[in-house]
Chains A and B, each alone.
Chain A
């Protein structure tokens, strides 16, 4: 609680009244800080030190000097000063005037002690409430500031910790790898007989040692992978790939070991290419993890890899006829270090991180992974990856673009779409293509009709140079008079796109094409 005495200043030129007021106040037995002045002059002197809470102003109205003093007080009072006029002449008018000048209250002379006490008690109570409020507000303020500061510090600390964790994982993996390197190469040198012949038994143990060094190495790599996935620092090197190729590659890599285990391996993919925009190596890692998982937990029957094209997704499935997973265990399947249905034997040893890494990689690709299983009947893992539907729609065009990209660092594309498609679209586009053909002279430039659009691909052409071609074609079209010969034809929407100025990837390019299609009613 603020130690704040109630400060009272008595101003009265009547020494008797001044004395009486002082006496009454002191007799109240409260801890008042009372000063008494016999003149305004004297009062101003007191006033300069500490601003009083209450001024008891003995005044014989009308008293111009007194009124002036009052105004003076009100002017400089930046906090509440209560003024009680102690007067022997008070009527309604001068009371009103007093109130207007900020007087709080009035006491009649001759002074009655009880009246004064009551008035002062009220003001004391007011002051106390106010002090409490101030105190509370101040404390709240301080509290908020402290909390804020604390939050700031905690946030900073968390960031530091996060960074430390990253560094720690990196450093630890480095620190673990160096001794592991020495162990591995020492054992390898002995096994390879570089330090003298070894016998069969020794060889077997050395091979076991090496196998477990491999396992430790894999655990370190998995830990690093999980760490980079969790703080979303895993870098993806995305490109357009035919997912069928990846699935077939993984299948063929596994064939020897699968066959050796007496299992069958099937691979079913669509005939045509299925394009996805992914980090090839990471998706291979996903497929390897899933097939490896199937391999570990399947003792008879087959493992089947398949690719299924849906409208907006591509599904990669890995199905086995293995021991399966109970519904109870399924939710834990993708969590770290949980190894479900773990079997003894070297082949089944894992790190417990494989599936959570798999899930992490799939999700980094905006995909999903799900598992369906019946114990004893096998497991089906389905990885869904978003596909780029437009890539398929503009297949001819994209094939040309890919070809151009192999040879040139830059290209521009002119895209022609009919503004208000009419019945004679195809004829119009034929005529347009023929017209463009006459205007384009470079051998490396190509005209492609695809998905209702005509594209002019200008290889090795910067945007400003393409603009010249754009203007030339625009002019040529205007001169054809197609508007009158084709009923309802309302011109073309022509767009110019440059790689790499406007788009940086094929995905960006097709996404842009989609927006051009939306121009005008279809």
Chain B
């Protein structure tokens, strides 16, 4: 069973994604912010990270930068799931992805369609 880490400061959103992904046979763990996420990722080595952007302690983009700089972690795929669309601290292009220091990540805007989330996850994990 593939393991997915959901990083979001809103526990209700985390709960909902857990139900949705659980029903689709994914194991889901969660973190309330970027800082905690880094620790969890090192410990749990998830197959995929679903990352919010606006979070206390450490915003999602900064956490992604740390992951990108870490040779052991930089290959874990990341999907941004964010309510932010304008004034992003990271350049967001018009094709629905977010550019962090030259690397593009899939970005799904909130509110999201479950079909879209599952589609993007399956595209990456192939299951």
Contacts and interface: CB of A to CB of B under 8 A. Distances in A.
Interface of A: 166, 170, 173-174, 177-178, 180-186, 188-189, 192, 194-195, 213, 217, 221, 224, 228, 237, 279, 281
Interface string B17-49: 101100100000000000000000000000000
A181 B85 contact: no
Contacts of B94: 237, 279, 281
B76 interface: no
Contacts of B54: 174
B86 A224 contact: yes
A185 B13 contact: yes
Given A178-B10, A184-B111, A237-B93, A194 B84 contact: no
Given A177-B111, A221-B85, 9 more contacts: A166-B87, A174-B54, A174-B84, A181-B83, A185-B17, A188-B20, A188-B113, A189-B114, A224-B86
A360 to B, nearest CB: 15
Nearest to B84: A174
Nearest to B20: A189
A189 B13 contact: no
Interface string B49-61: 0000010000000
Contacts, number: 64
A142 B54 CA distance: 49
A177 B16 contact: no
Contacts of B119: none
A181 B19 contact: no
Interface of B: 10, 12-13, 16-17, 19-20, 23, 54, 83-87, 93-95, 109-114
**7 closest A-B pairs by CB:** A177-B83, A181-B111, A181-B110, A185-B16, A184-B111, A281-B94, A180-B111
Nearest to B23: A194
Nearest to B117: A185
Contacts of A182: 10, 12-13, 16
Nearest to B92: A235
B83 A185 contact: no
Nearest to B87: A170
Contact of A213 (B17, B87, B111): B111
A111 to B, nearest CB: 85
Contact of B112 (A181, A183, A186, A228): A181
Given A189-B19, A279-B94, A178 B110 contact: yes
Given A224-B86, A279-B94, A177 B20 contact: no
Contacts of A189: 16, 19-20, 114
Contacts of B86: 170, 173, 224, 228
Contacts of B109: 177
B92 to A, nearest CB: 10
Question: Chain A interface secondary structure, helix, strand, loop or mixed?
Answer: helix
A180 B110 CA distance: 8
A186 B93 CA distance: 29
Contacts of A192: 23, 114
A277 B17 CA distance: 41
A185 B93 contact: no
Nearest to A180: B111
Q: Which of A166, A173, A189, A281: most chain B Cβ within 10 A?
A: A189
Nearest to A224: B86
A188 B13 CA distance: 13
Contacts of B20: 185, 188-189, 194
Most buried by A among B13, B23, B84, B111: B111
A286 B18 CA distance: 38
A182 B86 CA distance: 21
Contacts of B83: 173-174, 177-178, 181
Contacts of A184: 111-112
Contacts of A181: 13, 83, 110-112
19 contacts: A166-B87, A173-B83, A174-B54, A178-B13, A181-B83, A181-B111, A183-B111, A185-B13, A185-B17, A185-B111, A188-B20, A188-B113, A189-B19, A189-B114, A194-B20, A217-B111, A221-B85, A228-B86, A237-B94
B111 A186 contact: no
B98 to A, nearest CB: 14
A249 to B, nearest CB: 15
Contacts of B111: 177, 180-181, 183-185, 213, 217
A361 B85 CA distance: 18
A336 to B, nearest CB: 18
A185 B16 CA distance: 7
Nearest to A210: B113
Nearest to A177: B83
Contacts of B85: 173, 221, 224
Nearest to B54: A174
A177 B110 contact: yes
A177 B85 CA distance: 11
Contacts of B84: 170, 174
Nearest to A227: B86
Contacts of A194: 19-20, 23
A217 B83 CA distance: 11
A237 B91 CA distance: 12
A413 to B, nearest CB: 29
A183 B111 CA distance: 9
Contacts of B16: 182, 185-186, 189
B33 to A, nearest CB: 15
A230 to B, nearest CB: 13
B25 to A, nearest CB: 13
A19 B12 CA distance: 100
A250 B50 CA distance: 32
B56 to A, nearest CB: 14
